[in-house]
């Protein structure tokens, strides 16, 4: 069953057609990777799904609900969270505080309770701290909880950004080039982490250039080129697809006969 469905989605920026008539379904509880050369429209797709800007045409639905014109904050409340190509942490906050911030979209204490530190508000803050620590334990970051986010090694900063997204309690997690800038060891650890997240029941929608990661963890791979879907299938099918090889290498696959 598809959790996230894009139907005939297009996005124009002036005279540039960044995404062209795209149909895409992200099945519940699976890992789908969206790949393609630079400028293919991958991040534009993410930005439409998460409400950064609306599609020029077509429909985006999540669990059967149209989310085309929803604000990003409401889309988060629907159960979709994302990370970004460039790490966007609160560097002047601790690791624990970064995760706690992510959880506040689910809190019920209003301004009055927060201002007067009511018993309800204090109890909720304690619950947030406990849940945040559970998330940090899962990501192997608990020992860094009191350190500033900016002091973490690069790989751990990437993990923290994913942890903060997970703190919003999503059902679908969009990861935009999570392996960017990582060394091979960090990438291998990230692959294990994403599989662990999938095994908790999360749906993972991934944009990534690291083909080792994509082919190592994806269950479905969709390929864009100039905003159009040119292929979709299992990692093995995509690796052997002539259109994909031509898009990436600029040459057609040679006949082996």
* CATH number of the domain within which 166 lies: 3.40.50.300
Q: What is the pLDDT of residues 192-227, one digit of tens each?
A: 999 999 999 999 999 999 999 999 999 999 999 999
Of 253 and 228, the one with more pLDDT: 228
**Which domain does 248 fall in, by range?**
1-70+222-257
One domain for residues 161 and 116 = yes
One domain for residues 54 and 97 = no
Please tell me the total count of domains within the chain: 2
The answer as to whether 187 is a domain residue is yes
Region at 215 (left for phi over 0; alpha for psi -120 to 50; beta for the rest): alpha
Q: What is the pLDDT of residues 22-36, one digit of tens each?
A: 999 999 999 999 999
One domain for residues 93 and 188 = yes
The answer as to whether 24 is a domain residue is yes
Three-class secondary structure of residue 20 per DSSP: strand
Does this model's pTM top 0.85? yes
Sheet with 16-27, side-by-side order of all strands: 16-27, 2-13, 57-62, 65-66
- Can you tell me the distance from the alpha carbon of 257 to that of 255, in angstroms, rounded to the nearest whole number? 6
Question: Which one, of 48, 56, 54, 69, lies nearest residue 11 by Cα?
Answer: 56
The answer as to whether 19 is a domain residue is yes
Give the CA count within 13 Å in the CB-facing half-sphere of 125. Answer: 10
CB 3 within 8 A of CB 26: yes
One domain for residues 113 and 190 = yes
CB 175 within 8 A of CB 84: no
One domain for residues 188 and 124 = yes
The answer as to whether 83 is a domain residue is no
* β-sheet bridge partners, residue 13: 16
One domain for residues 42 and 98 = no
One domain for residues 141 and 239 = no
One domain for residues 128 and 191 = yes
């Amino acid at each position: 069953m598809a959790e996230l469905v894009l139907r005939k989605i297009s996005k124009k920026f002036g005279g540039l057609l960044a995404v062209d008539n795209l149909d895409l379904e992200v099945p519940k509880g699976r890992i789908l990777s969206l790949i393609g050369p630079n400028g293919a429209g991958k991040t534009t797709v993410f930005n439409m799904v998460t409400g950064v800007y609306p599609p020029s045409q077509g429909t985006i639905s999540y669990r059967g609900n149209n989310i085309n014109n929803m604000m990003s904050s409401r889309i988060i409340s629907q159960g979709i969270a994302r990370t970004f190509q460039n790490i966007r942490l609160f560097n002047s906050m601790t690791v624990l505080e970064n995760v706690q911030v992510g959880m506040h979209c689910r809190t019920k204490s209003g301004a009055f309770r927060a201002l007067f530190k009511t018993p309800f508000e204090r109890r909720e803050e304690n619950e947030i701290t406990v849940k945040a620590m559970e998330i940090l334990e899962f990501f192997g970051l608990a020992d860094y909880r009191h350190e500033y986010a900016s002091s973490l090694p690069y790989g751990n900063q990437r993990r923290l950004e994913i942890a903060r997204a997970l703190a919003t309690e999503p059902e679908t997690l969009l990861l935009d080039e999570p392996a960017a800038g990582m060394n091979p060891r960090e990438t291998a650890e990230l692959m294990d982490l994403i599989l662990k997240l999938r095994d908790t029941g999360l749906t993972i929608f991934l944009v990534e250039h690291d083909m080792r990661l994509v082919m190592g963890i994806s269950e479905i791979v969709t390929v864009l080129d100039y905003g159009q879907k040119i292929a979709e299938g299992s990692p093995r099918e995509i690796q052997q697809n002539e259109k994909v090889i031509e898009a990436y290498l600029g040459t057609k696959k040679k006949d082996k006969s």
